[in-house]
A = this chain, B = another copy of it.
Amino acid sequence: MQDQDQHIASAYDRDLEAIQAMILKMGGLVEAAILDGARSLESRDVELAEKVRRGDRAIDEIEERVNEEAARVIAIRAPVSRDLRVILSVLKLAASLERVGDYAKNIAKRTTVLVEMRPITGADATLRRMAREVEIMLKDALDAFTQRDVDLAMDVIHRDHDIDQMYNALFREFLTYMMEDPRSITACMHLHFVAKNIERMGDLVTNMAEQVVYIATGSMPDDTRPKADKTAYATEAE
Contacts and interface: CB of A to CB of B under 8 A. Distances in A.
Interface of A: 67, 70-71, 74-75, 78-81, 84-85, 88, 91-92, 95, 106, 109-110, 112-113, 116, 171, 174-175, 178-179, 182, 185-186, 189-190, 192-193, 196, 229, 233, 236-237
A113 B171 CA distance: 14
B85 A71 contact: yes
Given A233-B113, A237-B116, A75 B84 contact: yes
Given A109-B229, A196-B193, A237-B113, A75 B71 contact: no
A185 B179 contact: yes
A233 B112 CA distance: 9
Nearest to A79: B75
Nearest to A64: B220
A196 B190 CA distance: 12
Given A75-B81, A109-B229, A113-B233, A175 B179 contact: no
**Most chain B CB inside 10 Å of its own CB: which residue of A80, A110, A174:** A80
Q: How many copies does the complex hold?
A: 2
B88 A84 contact: no
B193 A185 contact: no
A189 B186 contact: no
A84 B74 contact: yes
A52 to B, nearest CB: 14
A66 to B, nearest CB: 11
A189 B140 CA distance: 33
Nearest to A88: B71
Most-contacted residue by chain B among A84, A106, A189, A233 (CB, 10 A): A189
Given A71-B85, A75-B81, A185 B196 contact: no
7 contacts: A71-B84, A75-B78, A75-B84, A88-B91, A113-B233, A175-B189, A189-B192
Nearest to A68: B85
A79 B174 CA distance: 53
The 3 closest A-B pairs by CB, nearest first: A113-B237, A75-B80, A78-B78
Contacts of A116: 237
A113 B233 CA distance: 7
A117 to B, nearest CB: 9
